[in-house]
Amino acid sequence: MTRKGYLVKQKEMGRHLLGVFPAQYPKEILWAMNIVPAEIWDPPLEMTLANAHLQPTICSVVKLGLELILQGKCDILDGFLFPHTCDSIQNLASVINDYMKAEKPCYFFYHPKAPYDTASRDFYHNHLKELVSSLEKQFGPLDPDTLKQRIHQSQKVSALLTGLYDLRAEGELNITNEEFYRVVRHGEYLFPDDFIPELEVFLSRNKGQGMKGQAPVLLSGVLPNPPEILTLLDDLGVRVAHDDFLIGSRRLLVPANNLDDPFENLTESYFAMPPCSTKGSSIGERAEYLFRLVDATGAKGVIFNVVKFCEPEWFDIPNLKEELKKRGISTLSLDTDLNQGLSGQMVTRVEAFVEMIG
């Protein structure tokens, strides 16, 4: 079933739909309020209208999100959620809510940026509750027991995804890179009741001897788009051993110990997640995370596949590359436009990188 078909069906089943912009938000709260978060990352659209509202140096995640709204493709949604991810998404929230006077309710979620202290935890905890209060006005009261159940499901999703990642890291997943991310990305809109069984079936069907051949690599960045990068790596026989994608391992929930207070539980999980440019994590933390992934997987190089004009990511990359270089780890950075395919020049760069580390 297509993403659109699935969302229509969810609506028919009586669930609410919220269009959610990247990247960090408490999806468990939405699930508990019978809301399906439909994340908006890279809708496959031709850019025609958004350029009138945004300057050329805004990334295509933000532009395509606005394009989706301007082309009238969000009619089915009951509102939008804007997490405080970067300046561009903050500005997009202003464009949609303040300037375009969106007809649908807009919600905002502010999460603290590193370095963290006790006040950061209080801030996050309070903002979770503020988000709930604002959502309750439209969607009705949140049942704490349902929230606990949804947190449990979220942990189950993360455990299954971690299982997938681990098997892939060990070369024991008999699928292509493209197939891997197709399934991982279903989590951007599937309700956990549907995503969990899909992951379980996928895991059980695809355990087996993985791709052999060229040296394994790590991918880092926001998301694996253009998807041709994955097909190219598949064609070259290169296994992506792990990732540091914002849509990938950076959002894997770490199970928290305290289940009595679901808000405490969510808070603890948020602060335990891997470092991320959108959370203001330090270069040291991010480099350590990459080193850990390299050590665990035997990856021979890191490819930064980053959306053009993504400020949080690109600000970090020179320093991250320098840190990796000190450890003798080769890097390649690709400056990509979403849904624009790979130019011949980019193909050459990837092929040459694979030749270099092979």
Q: Which residues of this protein are in contact with other proteins, per CB under 8 A?
A: 330, 335, 343-346, 348-349, 351-352, 355-356
Spatial CB neighbours of 110, under 8 Å, sequence gap ≥ 6: 83, 84, 123, 127
Indicate the residue among 296 and 352 with the shorter CB distance to other proteins: 352
- Minimum Å gap between C-beta 32 and other proteins is 45
Indicate the residue among 211 and 334 with the shorter CB distance to other proteins: 334
Name the region of 226 (left: φ>0; alpha: ψ -120 to 50; beta: rest).
Answer: beta
Between CA 351 and CA 11 the distance in angstroms is 45
From 88, 86, 84, 87, select the one nearest 66 (Cα to Cα): 88
Indicate the residue among 298 and 318 with the shorter CB distance to other proteins: 318
Coil vs helix vs strand at 351: helix
- Minimum Å gap between C-beta 86 and other proteins is 23
- Minimum Å gap between C-beta 175 and other proteins is 25
- Minimum Å gap between C-beta 354 and other proteins is 9
From 253, 143, 135, select the one nearest 192 (Cα to Cα): 253
Indicate the residue among 70 and 310 with the shorter CB distance to other proteins: 310
The DSSP line for 119-138 is HHHHHHHHHHHHHHHHHHHH
- Minimum Å gap between C-beta 335 and other proteins is 8
Indicate the residue among 47 and 114 with the shorter CB distance to other proteins: 47
- Minimum Å gap between C-beta 322 and other proteins is 11
- Minimum Å gap between C-beta 340 and other proteins is 10
Indicate the residue among 179 and 337 with the shorter CB distance to other proteins: 337
- Report in angstroms the alpha-carbon separations of 72 from 54, 91, 105, 318, 338: 18, 20, 16, 39, 20
Indicate the residue among 135 and 294 with the shorter CB distance to other proteins: 294
Contact assessment for residue 216 and residue 295, using Cβ atoms and an 8 Å cutoff: no
From 38, 21, 25, 64, select the one nearest 338 (Cα to Cα): 64
| Vertex 320: Cα angle to 314 and 325 (nearest 5) | 135
- Minimum Å gap between C-beta 268 and other proteins is 42
Indicate the residue among 30 and 320 with the shorter CB distance to other proteins: 320
From 117, 61, 48, 119, select the one nearest 91 (Cα to Cα): 61
Between CA 129 and CA 32 the distance in angstroms is 13
